[in-house]
Amino acid sequence: MAFEALGELLDETLELPIAGRLYTVPAPSAEIGLRTQAIVHAAAVAADGGRVDDQVLGDAAERDLYAELLGPAHEQMVADGVPWPALKHAAITAMVWVAQDKAAAERYWNAAGDPSRLAPNRAARRQSGAASSTKSRGSTSGTSTRPAPDRAKPKGNKKRR
């Protein structure tokens, strides 16, 4: 068995619909991908109260990264007058794609970046049947669930010694 060409195995673009137009975001270079990973990691460290290099998370670095992540789609969005919130959402979606995967990027995009919309609420899980399909775990206490033998009935003709 031989390895197949990687380009044929990976879907290396994002198709993002904005205001009736479809923008194609190509996969970033390895350098941009690695820098994106570093920024995502630094943001997580900062969110946990850790100290981070300001250059890694600076506003200018963020703006440059947006343009680099979106590639030619960035120029098309700017030329088309796409509003900043939409461009930023597209760029962060691309960042999620690079840092995680396409499925996570799609969830982020469809949730409009709202964390509360990323995970379904309890009612939605019940309607989908997810809550009822989870089997309950058995007891881990080590006790048996078999009923105790009925001691009132005599057991045959066994003699005690």
Q: Is residue 52 part of a domain?
A: yes
Cα separations in angstroms, 70 against 113, 134, 147 = 17, 40, 66
Q: pTM for this one?
A: 0.64
* CB-CB contact of 92 with 113 (8 Å): yes
Please name which of 27, 23, 18, 39 lies closest in space to residue 112, comparing C-alpha atoms: 18
Q: Is residue 104 part of a domain?
A: yes
Q: Is residue 127 part of a domain?
A: no
The pLDDT value recorded for residue 161 is 54
Mean pLDDT by 10 residues, the chain (161 residues): 69 90 94 88 79 64 83 97 96 93 92 75 49 50 57 57 54
Q: Is residue 77 part of a domain?
A: yes
The pLDDT value recorded for residue 43 is 77
Q: Is residue 6 part of a domain?
A: no
- Helix/strand/coil (H/E/C) assignment for every residue in 82-129: CCHHHHHHHHHHHHHHHHCCHHHHHHHHHCCCCHHHCCCCHHHHHHHC
Q: Into how many domains does the chain fold?
A: 1
* CB-CB contact of 69 with 94 (8 Å): yes
The pLDDT value recorded for residue 17 is 96
Range of the domain at 100: 13-120
How would you classify residue 149: left for phi > 0, otherwise alpha for psi between -120 and 50, otherwise beta? beta
Q: Is residue 35 part of a domain?
A: yes
Token pair in block for residue 30 = 């390895």
The pLDDT value recorded for residue 59 is 60
Q: Is residue 45 part of a domain?
A: yes
C-alpha angle 142-148-152 in degrees, rounded to nearest 5: 160
Q: Is residue 68 part of a domain?
A: yes
